[in-house]
Amino acid sequence: GAVVSQHPSRVICKSGTSVKIECRSLDFQATTMFWYRQFPKQSLMLMATSNEGSKATYEQGVEKDKFLINHASLTLSTLTVTSAHPEDSSFYICSASGGGGEKLFFGSGTQLSVL
């Protein structure tokens, strides 16, 4: 089946630094990628929808200057958390749609801890 690779799986950073998370579709072209944030024991919260070659569409309440999304190719989308603060600590998970099927394929997630 289709595979989505997400890196890093875990990152610890100091407050004020920026962190980049990569999401790659390994064996299919992902026309659309979704970025989610998940707090412990809660559901996935959609942050933004990323389409290749165009600007991401952000959900209400998500700061686009804070969470920069780039979808430069059909196999790669990146999420950069700029000037991270402790309140940005969370589990971030990407997903990709495409490959001719109806499923949504997920990366393995990134646990971000900002000190």
Binding site for another protein (CB under 8 A): 1, 31-32, 34, 38, 41-44, 46, 49, 51, 91, 93, 95, 97-98, 102-109, 111
Phi, psi dihedral angles at 20 (to 5 degrees): -110, 130
**CA-wise closest residue to 89 among 31, 33, 22, 37:** 37
Residues of the chain by 3-state class (helix, strand, coil), percent to 5: 5, 55, 40
Work out how close the CB of 43 gets to another protein at its nearest, in angstroms, rounded to a whole number.
5
Secondary structure of residue 103 in the 3-state scheme = coil
The number of helices, as runs of H, and strands, as runs of E, in the chain is 0, 11
